[in-house]
Amino acid sequence: MSIITIHPFYSDAVIGDILAQTEKPLSQQQQNIQKHYHYKDLVGLLSWNNANSQCFNSTDSSLSVTTHAVLDDDFNRLKYLIRSVLWPINHYIRRQMWMNILTLNRVRSSKQPRHVRQSSQATLTSTIVIIDNDFSSLSSNHNQLPNFVDTTNLCFYHLNEPTGHSLLQRILFTFALHHPDVTYCPTLQPFSALLLHYHTEYEVLYLINRLLVKNWLCGVTRLQWEAHCNVFMKLVRLYYKSAADIIDLRFANMKSFYQEWFWWIFRYLPFTYLTKIMDCFFLEGPKILFRISLALVHLYTKRIKDKSNKNPSDIADFCQHIPVSIDHLLRVAFDIRNFKRRTIDQLIENEEKLLRTTHQQPSNDNTKENSNSISHGISSDRQPQLVTSQHLTQIPNKSILDHKQFLTLWNWLPVRFSIAQPSLVFTTEEHGFRLQTLLDKIDEIEYSILIIKATNGEIFGAFCAGLWSDRHKRAYFGFGETFLFTLVPKQIKYSWVGQQHDDSNRQNQAKREMFLYVNNEKLVIGGGNGDGLCIDQSLCEGLTTHCDTFNNEPLCSQSYFSISVLEMIAFDFSES
């Protein structure tokens, strides 16, 4: 099957001379194309000529576009090829490829009959979608753009004036006319501008509608956009903690730094890099954008961490003059392990719920009084439930907690742990009653949950934030994410008082930072004028009192208690 030669750009909208100059940085990648580009595979998967060739040169406002279903195995082969091959920006395949991969519908192999799964050709079933694009009623006013556009970050790339800019404006206004529910969507303007380099205005309108249907626009309201920015900050802390620490140290306004994550790519990276990133994005979705921005943070912080200058170079300047090749950037991005779409979607969903709760929460004096009461505890009925039974799917069978209690506990955890599943690493019912055995099991674990069931049936414990092997380095160790809790007979969480107090008295501060303590005789969580929770070396007896670190009430009805079962829960991110 031969491929029809098509002009690579939409010449009506693009500045030809500038694009000819931008080809040069990728000219050395021609060998890469010959090495990896298997025409038959791509033609078979994307059905170049049969599917959408009729729309490429069309100027009719009613287009007939064919969509395809593709099975997992073929999708994964396609993903490998698109990731591997670096096409020059003027390669004719891109115009066809962007249209075809955005009209693919991925189908899970397990949902198809066996006889369908046997043949790649059999999986390419088609449906016809008719799109109606009426531009005639829209006037062209260069000084106006729809309200959903971020006018502080306009990207035109190599669109000419006035035709290219005018067409882009009309595309955005037409989209706004048909989607009044889209109130804030900064991604639409740069996405449309990029597509307009290769596609007609009618095709662009169809393709951005496809992105909307796929939910790949990174939000269509301010709240959803803010959720994406907050999730990116959490992803940096989760996957590149050392980079996050450098950002915390070097930048006074961290939130402002992370809010620019999208523009590092679309406003500052070279156009040759951007087209390759879009090849991958149109197939795999926003996960690609998160990967690239994480890689940029990683490379940027590596560059500045050894410099003594307290005013580091701007990351925007770093991206504009990026010192690594596009294939190196992609390699760093794709080397991030256990980075799954389901994980990101869940984080975004949780963040949106949290932001809605925050925006709806009244700010009055009663709120302050409640937070400063004798127990800084938060009861479960006052805590927004961000984690549901659909998220928590792998409850340990041998745990003393039931599913509902795990849900309560998971909703108390820092948000980044809500994507993990609980893993039972120690229980006295299986491993015996000995403190040293427990410590051997958890020595290299940094975050864990201690759960105790007393002989009277009460259940309580602590979320322990701190590497247990640090007990060899200092007396008290750990940090402020640690908290105490009671689950039975009541449900209440006691967070670190350092989140509420701002006391310059060093003696008081020391008492409020006694998180974890271990010696040969006992394990203690929370100190200062009493032990919040103390377990003896036999793991049979314990003590709970008020302590300064958590300003807690005793966790159970009797200060001295006998232990029926003690267990330690760790976090498994592998299924996220």
Provide DSSP, 175-216.
HHHH-TT----TTHHHHHHHHHTTS-HHHHHHHHHHHHHTT-
In the block, residue with structure tokens 């949780």: 350
What is the rounded radius of gyration, in angstroms, for the C-alpha atoms of the chain? 28
Round to whole Å and give the CA distance between 127 and 47: 13
Is residue 576 a contact partner of residue 340, using CB atoms and an 8 Å limit? yes
Distance, in Å, from the CA atom of 496 to the CA atom of 484, rounded to the nearest integer, reads 9
pLDDT, tens digit only, all 576 positions of the chain: 344 445 578 777 788 665 565 554 444 444 444 444 444 555 455 544 344 444 444 444 445 555 667 777 778 888 888 898 888 888 878 888 898 888 877 766 554 444 333 333 333 333 333 444 455 444 444 458 899 999 999 999 999 988 899 999 999 999 988 888 889 999 999 999 999 999 999 899 999 999 998 899 999 999 999 999 999 999 999 999 999 999 988 888 888 899 999 999 999 999 999 999 999 999 999 999 999 999 999 999 998 876 655 555 789 999 999 999 999 999 999 999 989 888 898 899 888 888 887 765 444 444 343 433 334 566 554 455 556 666 777 888 889 999 889 999 988 988 778 778 899 999 999 999 999 999 999 998 989 999 999 999 999 999 999 999 988 888 888 988 899 999 999 999 999 987 665 444 444 555 567 899 999 889 999 998 889 999 999 999 999 999 989 999 999 999 999 999 999 999 987 654
Q: Give the pairing type, strands 104-107 and 62-71.
A: parallel
CB 247 within 8 A of CB 236: yes
> Is the Cβ–Cβ distance between 549 and 514 less than 8 Å?
yes
Token pair for 354: 């949290």
462 CB-near residues (< 8 Å, 6+ apart): 449, 450, 482, 483, 484, 485, 525, 526, 532, 533
Which residue is it, tokens 């590497």? 467
Residues 199 and 92 sit within 8 Å (Cβ to Cβ): no
Element (H, E) at 261: helix 261-263
> Which residues belong to CATH 1.10.472.80 in the chain?
222-356
Question: What's the fold here for domain 222-356?
Answer: Cyclin A; domain 1 (1.10.472)
Residue 512 CA neighbour count, 13 Å, CB half: 18
Task: Specify the residue for token string 């160790």.
Answer: 477
Find out whether the peptide bond into 489 is cis, omega within 30 degrees of 0. yes
- Please state whether the predicted TM-score (pTM) of the whole model is above 0.85: no
Q: Is the peptide bond before 186 cis (omega within 30 degrees of 0)?
A: no
